Structures are given as structure tokens and as C-alpha cells.
Amino acid sequence: MSLSETARTINATAYSYISSWALLTAAELRLFDRLPARSDDLVDAFPDADLVDTLMLTLADAGLVVDNDGVWTQTDEMTTLLTGDDSYADYLGGQIMQQMTPRMTLGLTGENVLSSVLTDPTSRRGYEGWFTDADEANAYQSSQYAGSLGPASALSKQIPTPTGRVLDLGGGWGAIAQAVAKRHDVDVDVVDFGTVVSSAPAGSDRVSFREGNALDETTWPDEAYDGVVLSYLFSSIPGSEQEPLLAALAERGVRWIAVHDFMAGTGRWASAWSLQHAVFVPEHRSRSEDDVSSMLQSAGFGTISASPLIDEMTTLVVGTRH
Ligand SMILES: C[S@@+](CC[C@H](N)C(=O)[O-])C[C@H]1O[C@@H](n2cnc3c(N)ncnc32)[C@H](O)[C@@H]1O
């Protein structure tokens, strides 16, 4: 690679925060809801039209908006994803901008969080510490719910057809549980922290929310389960807890376990998202698809299937008993 190509490679990552922040900010401000528009049309909310043009040019270079003779527009597909309530823009302007980026970058104190965690890994408090604050749990889960609706639909089609009750450990506000219950006409129990389940939207009466801890099986519902969904739970708990968790589920006699998560080596954003979790989850461990498959096999789930779920980001590995 030449020096200029090398510099281009460095810059592609070094400066990507600018377009990223422009997108997250536009999402937070619900700017896409106002397109198509000229920057002059937006002066009621954004008085400097030239500044808006500069932002829009940045978004245009990133392929997010189109300059139509001075009128900023979007493709139909971009409009579908980035406008309206519970849209992808809500997730980007909500959980990603307000909660995830500060946990990785300059935090609330202006201190580089990633740098601090690298030198002092014991400073991480995890989801449990984070969600002792009910307002934080609420803000996080409303965005997570919106962000998980698409993956939930895909996941519900790729799990084994349930023959009985399903457990969703770390299920948040139940986007996945609702999709599984609806598609397969089964009961699904969601277990998550008290601040999470107490504010979950009701949804289907086939989905029950129970306060509990995925790492303490005495807090799980006293039910027999056909299968279990662990969506982003491996990224959310210490690595050393993953095998004991699978063993406890095997001991309970579940027939299948579906692990949906960021898995190293499976796409452009998989390890990046592991890192985003590693900065606040104590003893976080990156896992590859092979690692997760081996863990499931060791726990007695001999038939393994694996497939990408969110493009370049997440993988679904399902282990089923022979
Ligand atoms: C990234 S969110 C995923 C939520 C949901 N599974 C989904 O896919 O939309 C991670 C979830 O794991 C939950 N969680 C983390 N550690 C947990 C634990 N020890 N016990 C129960 N839930 C836990 C968090 O509260 C949060 O709701």
C-alpha cells in the first residue's frame, strides 16, 4: 500500500466520528422528519442556513441525504428508516447518542472512558449498576425496543419451532419475546432487572415479565422451558459466567438455546460493538462464532446452526439437543 493510500486508510477511521456525530445529531433533532426541504425552510429551528448546508453536505457525502438542486431529500428507503416514531433515527438519536457514545468517549466528566477502562478495567459497573437508575433504564429500553423490532422478527423465524414455553433471559422490554410469542403462538417469559421489567410495555398477554438476574437461577421463573433466547446477554455479562449459565439451562432440560450477539470476525461492526460493551461490562470477553458453538456443544447442545442476523454486526447461533 502506498503512503497516500495508507493515509487514506487512517483518515477513513480517524475522521468518521464527524459524519457519525452529524448523523446522530440530525437523528436526535428529528431533522430527517422535515425533509425534503431547503436549509432556508428550516430557519425556524436552525437559524443559520449555511451551517445546515454544511451539515447536509457532510450527510450527503456519507450517502444519507441527496442534494436535489438545493432541496435536501432522501431516498424512499432512507426515509422509511430515518423518519417517524419508533424509527431507526429514534434509536440512533436516543440510546446511541445519549447513552452509548458517552460510555465510550468523554463520559459525563470529560474524561476519556475508553482510556480509563484500558488502564483500570475494574472501574466497569455493568448493566446492573447502570440500571439502578430507573430513568436511565427507561431511556435505554425504549430505544433498545425500537432498535430490536427488526432483528426480533428475523430471529423469531430462525429459531427451532417451539414445542412449549420459551425463556428470554435479559429480554429487556420484550421486542424479541413479543415476536416469538406472536409467530409461534407460545408463552414467553422475559427475565430482566426490576427497573427494566417494571416499565415494559404490556404487549401480548402471552408474554410475561419477571424481575430476576440471568446469573442467579434461583430468581428465574419456576417453569419448564422448551427453549431459551439470549439476545445480547453474552455481551452484557462477565465472560466467566457464560459457561455456567449454559450449564444451568442444560440442567433445567431445555431443548434449544439461541445465542444472538456480536461475534468477533463476523462483520465490519461486530467487534466494534463488542468494544462498546466491553467499556462498561465487567470482565467482558469477545467471543467468535466458533467459541459460542463450542460452548453450546460442551453444554450438551450438539446440533449447531449459525447465521448472520444484523448485517455485518450480529450472528445467531442455535444449539439444539440431539
Ligand atoms: C442490549 S440489551 C438487549 C435486550 C434484548 N435482549 C434485546 O435483544 O432487545 C441487554 C439486556 O440484558 C439485560 N441484562 C444484563 N445483565 C443481566 C443480568 N445479569 N440479568 C438479567 N438481565 C441482564 C439488560 O438489562 C438489558 O435489558
C-alpha cell at position 296 = 453450546
Asked if the model's pLDDT at residue 207 lies above 80, the reply is: yes
Whether 119 maps to a domain, the answer reads no
Asked if the model's pLDDT at residue 107 lies above 90, the reply is: no
Q: Read off the pLDDT band of 177 (50, 70, 90).
A: very high
Q: Residue 306 and residue 262: Cα distance in Å, rounded?
A: 13
pLDDT at residue 58, rounded to an integer? 98
C-alpha cell at position 318 = 442455535
Asked if the model's pLDDT at residue 303 lies above 80, the reply is: yes
Measured at the alpha carbon of residue 146, what is the angle toward residues 61 and 211, in degrees to the nearest 5?
Answer: 145
Place of cell 428550516: 42
In order of 37, 44, 146, the CA distances from 33 in angstroms are 10, 15, 17
Q: Residue 249 and residue 128: Cα distance in Å, rounded?
A: 21
| Same domain for 164 and 263 | yes
Mean pLDDT of the residues in the chain: 96
pLDDT at residue 299, rounded to an integer? 98
Whether 287 maps to a domain, the answer reads yes
How remote is the CA of residue 252 from the centroid of ligand 1, in Å? 21
Mean pLDDT computed over 279-306: 97
Total domains in the fold of the chain: 2
| Same domain for 158 and 228 | yes
Q: For a pLDDT cut of 70, what percent of the chain falls above it?
A: 100
Among residues 74, 90, 106, which one ends one of the domains? 90
Q: Residue 229 and residue 166: Cα distance in Å, rounded?
A: 8
Asked if the model's pLDDT at residue 108 lies above 80, the reply is: no
| Same domain for 85 and 173 | no
pLDDT at residue 87, rounded to an integer? 87
Contact 248, 217 (CB under 8 A): yes
Mean pLDDT computed over 50-64: 98
| Same domain for 69 and 156 | no
- Give one DSSP letter per residue of 54-92, joined into a string: HHHHHHHHTTSSEEETTEEE--HHHHHHHSSTT-HHHHI
pLDDT at residue 63, rounded to an integer? 98
How remote is the CA of residue 214 from the centroid of ligand 1, in Å? 9
Whether 108 maps to a domain, the answer reads no
Is this prediction's pTM over 0.85? yes
Q: Read off the pLDDT band of 194 (50, 70, 90).
A: very high
How remote is the CA of residue 111 from the centroid of ligand 1, in Å? 26
Q: Residue 141 and residue 30: Cα distance in Å, rounded?
A: 19
Whether 230 maps to a domain, the answer reads yes
Q: Read off the pLDDT band of 42 (50, 70, 90).
A: very high
Domain holding 253, by residue range, is 147-320
Q: Residue 107 and residue 99: Cα distance in Å, rounded?
A: 9
Substitution candidate for ligand 1 out of 193, 261, 273 with most atoms within 8 A of CB: 193
Measured at the alpha carbon of residue 178, what is the angle toward residues 270 and 183, in degrees to the nearest 5?
Answer: 95
Pairing of strands 66-68, 188-192: unpaired
| Same domain for 283 and 153 | yes
C-alpha cell at position 139 = 431511556
Mean pLDDT computed over 230-250: 98
